[in-house]
Amino acid sequence: MPGLLLGDEAPDFEADTTQGRIRFHDFLGDSWGILFSHPRDFTPVCTTELGRAARLAPEFSKRNVKMIALSIDSVPDHLAWSKDINAYNGEQPEETLPFPIIADKNRELAVKLGMLDPDERDKDGMPLTARVVFVFGPDKKLKLSILYPATTGRNFDEILRVVDSLQLTAYKKVATPVDWKPGDSVMVVPTLPDEEAKKLFPKGVFTKDLPSGKKYLRYTPQPE
Ligand code: BEZ
């Protein structure tokens, strides 16, 4: 089965992009990375997504996340489309975006990474790429994968929110509860004994009483 599962290492592929030829591991370096795929250039939903991604680029950069997009068209198409994306954002119609777009004209990477949407096809009957989001950690392992069909645009505020959760929970023994936003309280992970939790979280651990009598709902203010 092609595709990537949580914990898999990012394939070290080579590809042509709008910023030249890259080798993926070199591109990622020691940073976090986000790879997001698009069905096709010059399509409406993709244009809005890439416009939003471009506007949020400083936020990803603040979090040490390198962004890279993929679409199944050529570099010249990607560059021409980038002008439209900048114009959509109300900017000068330039060919540059704050991240590269991979040219996957033959769908080789899309197949390898399990990105094709069988329900959306081009005029020749070939499947288009689905809207995949892969987030890689600095160890180049897959930390998060989101898969949307071509017809449903993603929410990039949500993607930033999950990056915040991934980075917090990678370094602290906490998990983020439903609808968590940065600054909200977090949950102590179930495997951490109470005594250790008290030491690790000096701002306090607050346990909610439950009918079962089990003390598993343990909150703590978001650690620094
Ligand atoms: C779009 O980006 O608008 C789109 C692409 C493929 C199928 C449906 C919508």
Please give, one letter per residue, the 3-state secondary structure of the chain.
CCCCCCCCECCCCEEEECCEEEEHHHHHCCCEEEEEEECCCCCHHHHHHHHHHHHHHHHHHHCCEEEEEEECCCHHHHHHHHHHHHHHCCCCCCCCCCCCEEECCCCHHHHHCCCEEEEEECCCCCEEECEEEEEECCCCEEEEEEEECCCCCCCHHHHHHHHHHHHHHHHCCEECCCCCCCCCCEEECCCCCHHHHHHHCCCCCEECCCCCCCCCCEEECCCC
Q: Give the pTM.
A: 0.95
Structure confidence at residue 171 (pLDDT):
95
The residue whose CA is least distant from atom 8 of ligand 1 is 151
Phi first, then psi: give them for residue 68, nearest 5 degrees.
Answer: -150, 135
Structure confidence at residue 224 (pLDDT):
86
Residue 197 CB less than 6 A away from ligand 1: no
Q: What is the pLDDT of residues 57-77, one digit of tens each?
A: 999 999 999 999 999 999 999
Mutate which of 42, 45, 52, 85 to test ligand 1's pocket (most atoms within 8 Å of Cβ)?
45
Residues 92-110, mean pLDDT to the nearest whole number: 96
Ligand 1 centroid vs 29 CA: distance in angstroms? 32
Percentage of the chain lying above the pLDDT 90 cut? 92
Residue 30 has pLDDT above 90, yes or no: yes
Phi first, then psi: give them for residue 15, nearest 5 degrees.
Answer: -155, 155
Residue 1 has pLDDT above 70, yes or no: no
Residues 184-197, mean pLDDT to the nearest whole number: 96
